[in-house]
Amino acid sequence: MTENAIGIFDSGLGGLTAVKELVKLLPNENVIYFGDTARVPYGNRSKRTIIRYAEQDADFLLSRGVKMIIAACGTVSSVAVNLKDELPVPFTGVVAPTAYAAAHATKSGRIGVIGTSATVNSGSYKNELLRLDSSFSVFQQDCPLFVSLVENSFISADDDIVKMVVERYLKGLKEQNIDTLILGCTHFPIIAQAISNYLEGRVTLIDSGKETALYAVKLLEKHKLFNRSEQPGSCRYYVSDTVEDFRRTAEIFLGKNVGNEVSHINLEHAFVH
Ligand code: DGL
């Protein structure tokens, strides 16, 4: 069992922010990633649809024999809150580990949260922050276009379109004098530089992919699931749309060629609930 892979899923590329960190922390672990690129974005869909997609994504990973599942997606973590109870393996989403990190990073207690519309409407991060400390002031903003920017490789901090969208969404938060900002969608760390530039480097950015990977290490330890093999682990990527676009952006983001490690999977046919 311990040699089985860790399963990570997201609606698209965003979950790679968790993969990147996890592989750094645990180079001997095998990883299976699923990006539901045919159905991205999730963040403006109904609760019912997001829950159905999340169940299908998890079922696919389970069919590959994973020993643990990470929903590296702020939207799924915020909306499909009962998924954890339906799974036969340990599970984590991104909300709790990320809120915990933000609560420890803030000095002024003024925390911003950005995410998809579904995430912000759920109030998931805000509720978790206020549960940790009810004196926090939490300011939320949904930024749905960030997901499209990332999925379409508009990720450079020098790109005028990226700068314009960042300013449009973050102006209000900047005016609130936040000292910490939760990048509550796993796509967002990919444009962290543009976000940081706009906030003039004065705000601590909390990367939901990274914090979740850090928490996943603790979860593996708790369940005694560390892979004891000395061999370097493997990464396999599955996507529900064409592999070419994923390959290109994944390579820019992960800094390595993922050529033969990416395959297409038709999820609708394989696992319709
Ligand atoms: N990366 C996802 C998230 O963390 C989903 C973005 C989307 O599909 O809308 O919310």
Q: Based on the domain organization, do 217 and 204 belong to the same domain?
A: no
Residue 82 resides in a domain: yes
Q: Is residue 15 pLDDT above 70, yes or no?
A: yes
Give the integer Cα–Cα distance in Å for 205 and 50: 26
Structural domain boundaries enclosing 158: 95-208
Across the range 7-16, mean pLDDT stands at 95
Pick the last residue of a domain from 165, 190, 208.
208
Compute the distance from residue 231 Cα to the ligand 1 centre, in Å. 33
Q: Based on the domain organization, do 115 and 191 belong to the same domain?
A: yes
Across the range 100-117, mean pLDDT stands at 98
Compute the distance from residue 213 Cα to the ligand 1 centre, in Å. 16
CATH (domain of 155): 3.40.50.1860
Q: Domain tally for the chain?
A: 2
Task: Return the pLDDT at 273.
Answer: 44
Q: Based on the domain organization, do 215 and 255 belong to the same domain?
A: yes
Ligand 1, closest atom to CA 44?
9
Q: Which residues are catalytic?
A: 73, 185
Decide if 68 contacts 4 (C-beta within 8 A): no
Q: Based on the domain organization, do 89 and 220 belong to the same domain?
A: yes
pLDDT band at 270 (very low <50, low <70, confident <90, very high): low
On average, the pLDDT of the chain sits at 95
Give the integer Cα–Cα distance in Å for 35 and 99: 24
What confidence tens digit (pLDDT) does each residue in 35-51 have? 999 999 999 999 999 99
- Ligand 1 site residues (CB inside 6 A) read 10-11, 14, 40-43, 73-75, 115-116, 119, 147, 185-187
Q: Based on the domain organization, do 88 and 219 belong to the same domain?
A: yes
Ligand 1, closest atom to CA 11?
8
Q: Based on the domain organization, do 216 and 89 belong to the same domain?
A: yes
Place of tokens 């991205």: 40
Cα separations in angstroms, 178 against 157, 174, 182: 21, 7, 11
What confidence tens digit (pLDDT) does each residue in 211-256 have? 999 999 999 999 999 999 989 999 999 999 999 989 988 887 788 8
Compute the distance from residue 117 Cα to the ligand 1 centre, in Å. 9
Q: Based on the domain organization, do 36 and 133 belong to the same domain?
A: no
The model carries a pTM of: 0.94
Pick the last residue of a domain from 208, 225, 246.
208
Residue 1 resides in a domain: no
Task: Return the pLDDT at 272.
Answer: 44
